[in-house]
Each structure stands twice: as C-alpha cells, then as structure tokens.
Chain A
Amino acid sequence: MNKSELLNKIDQLSDAAENFEGYEKFAAKDDISNLKIKVNSMITSDIANKMSSISLPETEDMDDQIKLANDAIKSNENRVSAFNSAYGFLKNALGIVL
C-alpha cells in the first residue's frame, strides 16, 4: 500500500471503530495505531526513491576516458615538438623570413 491508500484505510477504520464496542473497538484501535506507524515509516520513501533514480556513469569508465585522453595529449605534444623542430629546421635551411 502507498501512503495515500494507508491514510484512507486509517480514516475508514477510525470511522468504523466509533461504532464498535469492547474488544472489537480495542482491536480496531490497535490496527489503526499500526497503520499510523507504517505511514510514519514511509515519510522519506519518495525522497529516497527519487535519489535512487539518479543514474550516473561508472567512475572507472570516466577514469579510463581521462587516461586515454591524457596519453593522447602526451603523444600529441611529442608530435608537436617534432613538428616545431622540423619547421624551425626548415626555416633555417631555406633561409626564410616570412
């Protein structure tokens, strides 16, 4: 039962209990008390459910992606260094002033 169903049941029982007597009344009131306890226990369930619905990527996957990119940047930096050396050499060798 969800919260609103429980609250309805509590109301129904409370109304009915008014007409009971003796042990029957005692039993009905005890049932109502249990329902109230149950309702209180569910007070944070929708918040917890909402938070649980948040879906995040695995941090291992993110770490892998980051590592791949860092490695690629390193190799690229080596290429850029080599490229710039080659370019510098070219400039000197050809005596260029752009």
Chain B
Amino acid sequence: MILYRVGNFKSPLIVCLLSLFLVIGCATPPEVKQLSIKQSEYFDVAIKAVSIQSDALIIATEKLIQNAIVNIELEEKNSKIEFNDALLSGSLTQDQANDIIERISQKSKLIKQSKDDLTNDLNIIKNKIVELKLFLTKMKEVNTTMDAYIQSEKAGEAVVKDILNQPNVKALLATVSELTPKIMTGVDELNDFITNIN
C-alpha cells in the first residue's frame, strides 16, 4: 500500500492530499439548505392560491354563461311570438312565407350553435386550469429533486466538518499559511517518490 510507504514524506503529502480534497468538495451553506426547504412551502402556497383563483374564474365564467343563455332563450321566446304573429296575419306573400320558414330554421341553428360555443369556451377554460395545476405540481417535484441534492452530504463536507472543529479560525489560518510552502515541497517530494517507485 503506497500510503504506508510514505514514511518521511508523511506530513507534506498528507497536507497535499487533504488540500486536494478540500478543493474538490465544498459543503452547501445551511442557509441555502433552509431556503430550499422554504421553497417547497412556498410552492404549496402557490398551488393553493392558483387553485382558489381558478375556482373563482370558473364561477365567474359560469355566471356569464348563465346570463347569456337567459338572454338567448328570451330572444327565442320573443321570436316565436313574432313568427306566429307574422304567419297568422294572413297578409303574407308566398315569398314572404318561404322566407319566414327559412328564418325559423336559421334561428334554431343559431341558438344551438350559440349554446355549443358557450359550452366550448367553458371547457377550454376548465382544461387549461387542469393543465396549469398539473404544471405547478411538476414544478414542486422539480424543487423536491433539487432539494434532495442540496440537503445531501456533498463530497468534502466531512473534511469541512473536521476543519470547523478547529479550536479557532485563527489557528486554522495559521496552519494554512504554515502548510502552503510545505505543500509545494510536498508535491516535489511526491514526484520524487513516484519516480522512485517506478
């Protein structure tokens, strides 16, 4: 095992390797972890808010449609009276009588088409609301996935924990400045060592 043969070169090599580990890994700040958790809560709030707003939109739309249908049916009722009066008036020409029959048919088609259009609009609105709710749920899933990564122990976090257990930061900084030249010689020694192995 190479490491056991380090012997005299132990200190600088240790420092060299550990510095490498330190550089590779950085722990996620706890504040970021906390924000990630909060984000999940914020998404829940957004999902609820959109749901309530969507319900309000559907209620408003249905009211508009109800009013429209009342108006349409009023027109239908009045038209029937007018058509009747005209047909029974006895003063129609043949052309006029034909025209009335055509109008009755047209009106009936128009009323049906109008009611269909209103139902169609309501369905478009409802479908889009379903899509929107699903999208928000997916966004929350995305956040949960990212949160799993943020919360998990990242490479090097163990190293940082060790280092943070130092009695004080000053000592740590002193150690670093002390070690830096050793690291450089350590690298040279490491190179020599590797050459010697070969």
Contacts and interface: CB of A to CB of B under 8 A. Distances in A.
A1 interface: no
A69 B99 CA distance: 69
Contacts of B41: none
B110 A38 contact: yes
Interface in B103-143: 103, 106-107, 110-111, 113-115, 117-118, 120-122, 124-125, 128-129, 131-132, 134-135, 138-139, 141-142
B85 to A, nearest CB: 8
Contact of A30 (B57, B103, B132, B156): B103
B114 to A, nearest CB: 3
B74 to A, nearest CB: 9
A88 B121 CA distance: 65
A32 B162 CA distance: 85
B163 A98 contact: yes
Interface residues of B, number: 70
Interface in B138-185: 138-139, 141-142, 145-146, 148-149, 152-156, 158-159, 162-163, 165-166
A79 interface: yes
A44 B122 contact: yes
B21 A73 contact: no
A98 B111 CA distance: 85
The contact size tier of chain A is: 35 or more
B14 A96 contact: yes
Contact of B61 (A38, A44, A59): A44
Q: Lowest 7 CB-CB distances: which A-B pairs, in order?
A: A41-B114, A48-B121, A44-B121, A40-B68, A51-B128, A48-B124, A62-B138
27 contacts: A27-B103, A30-B107, A33-B107, A34-B107, A37-B75, A40-B75, A41-B72, A41-B118, A43-B64, A44-B118, A47-B125, A48-B122, A48-B125, A52-B128, A62-B135, A70-B145, A73-B145, A76-B149, A83-B24, A83-B156, A90-B17, A90-B21, A93-B1, A94-B3, A94-B6, A96-B14, A98-B166
